[in-house]
Structure 1
Amino acid sequence: MAVYETAAFTLGDFIAAGFDETKAQQLFAQRVLELAEKYEMDLEDPDERWLIEEMALNE
């Protein structure tokens, strides 16, 4: 998805860009997974999951 190649977006940004909420949630979840992989974080760990979701929201 090219949207990730240029900038990071929050869930609200995806919705504002015209994506429906379901698609926006999918794109945001994908971004969370990308960040978790990049920083080698475990999404099963509640503390690490919270941190990576905050990172995705605040990029």
Structure 2
Amino acid sequence: VMMLEHIGWQEAADLVTHAYERTLQQKIVTYDFARQMDGATEVRTSEFATAIIRNMDA
């Protein structure tokens, strides 16, 4: 996100940020977050990335 902001691609940075936030709200997270959240769905890093990408379309 910081790289996108640095090169002036704010719209793309916002898209990634909002998709990431939406994924966290859905409690779809990797192990490091899952152990700190009640009711979280623990996924592999690649699955987490896929969930973020899916939320870009939402």
Q: TM-score, normalised by structure 2?
A: 0.46
Higher strand share: 2
TM-score (norm 1): 0.46
Tell me: higher relative CO, structure 1 or 2? Use CA pairs within 8 A at least 6 residues apart.
Answer: 1
